[in-house]
Structure 1
Amino acid sequence: MSTTSPTIRPLADTATMLRRNLRHQQRYPSMTLSTLISPVIMLLLFGFVFGKTFQAGIGGGGFDYLDFLVPGLLLVTMGSGTVSTAVAVCTDMTEGIVARFRTMAIFRPSVLTGHVIGSLLQTLVSVALLIGVALLMGFRPSATFGEWLLASALIVGTSIALTWMAVALGLTSKTPEAASNVVLPFSLILPFLSSTFVPIASMPSGIRWFAEYQPYTPIIETLRGLLIGTPYQASDGWLAAAWCVAITAGGYAWSRRSYNRGTAA
């Protein structure tokens, strides 16, 4: 009779898949470095090169554009991590390794959760790197310990939500190249059409409407309120949490359905 606990086996299988994905990240350092460095490059570009121009146009002398910018770039960092996740999942599906896993006595969801946890760890390292560079550049958050905890919880929740959506998109992509393109709305389009770089009030009316009601904006405004003390409505915090829950639930359900069908199309 096996003495393996039904609880320990899923945890052990997930840990095995996590180690596998971390080793894959080590074998493809260019993609990992791209995920880590791209948000820092954007920080240097918009903080140093365009910072004074944006500062003069938005708030004048009493406005610190770097403080305004960093919370938005935290979302960009989380979105950037979705590219490598979608590519890795699609590669597993198209190269047949998932078919082999299906024939093994393992906890089936561990294949997906291993990707999610590995991506989450990489994203959190990217976020820490961005904050560290921002502090060296002069970013001075005014958050209390409790506000840092809330901001950290929101960062983790958003990262999990975007990662599950990236897993779902990777599972439904036919090639790794297609997977890298299908996540562009998370990594590029939505950040630019939100309050990441400029306040919503300064946008043209049509874009302003879209930016106000898309998922990224309430998350960014909540992070700004927590980290640098800008005025924000409590409804933004609840809306940010609701978006995280909705995207996580949708991405998870879509991923499970696609994975159980065993199709990459």
Structure 2
Amino acid sequence: MPQRPPFVSLATDFGAAYTGICAGVVYGIVPGATVLVLSDEITPFAVAEGAMLLRQALPYLPVGVHVGIVDPGVGTPRRPIAIETGRGDVLVGPDNGLLVPAAEALGGAVRAHVLEDPAYRLPTVSASFHGRDIFSPAAAHLAAGVAVADLGAPAEPLPLDVASPVVGEGELTAPILYTDRFGSLILNAGPDDLAAAFGPLEHGAPLEVSGRGERITFAETFGGVAPGEPLLWVDSSGLLGLAVNQGSAADRFGMREPAVITLRPANS
């Protein structure tokens, strides 16, 4: 069987043009690589949104080198890192928690190293475009066979800085991780948290968002409620989300990240 070419994916908040430049850097170093732009539409500066995209998407991509760039701290002392995972992938990006959930989904972090060897950067490094000057060259060299440990000193990646859900008796409080393109509010909580707060909860059960005075329905699908009606559902990555069927929960409730939502049983 012929050997598969190196695979590199890119997920950024840059937009198409700057992400295309990063792809060009990779091709310039590894002309035979397959380069996939997973997304160039992550909300600018939304680290948690980018982290959840990588966590959800990368298990479905081929084993390879995956670049994630949502980097509000570019040019500051924050570290650029590469994380090798149990599945065999290498994740490249800023050390701001962005890569850690995906690493956990890919078998856990085996090792991580700082991207500090100038041999694996572009000759000139700007203060504001590390995607082009540091992350993409490192990813290309990794795809070409350079070992993660050759890039620089060992590192312990910083975790994603997001509050955990709080479970009470008949109450669940969780932060909004991000707002998706449909205006749905994705929460840092899952079905186990819901069950811990409310016990077994059947689809169709009524809940309310504390302080909003509006009933929502725990539904399996958007079509479980009428158009324009709100619902709580479990999204395709296993997280709870607050949505409006054919509408925007962000607009309906006037909430976005980093707000916190508290769910309680609906008043009879």
Instruction: Tell whether the structures are fold-level matches, with TM greater than 0.5.
Output: no
Task: Provide TM-score, normalisation by structure 1.
Answer: 0.24
Task: Provide TM-score, normalisation by structure 2.
Answer: 0.24
Q: Which has the larger radius of gyration?
A: 2
Structure richer in helix, relative to its length? 1
By relative contact order (CA 8 Å, sep 6+), the higher-ranking structure is 1
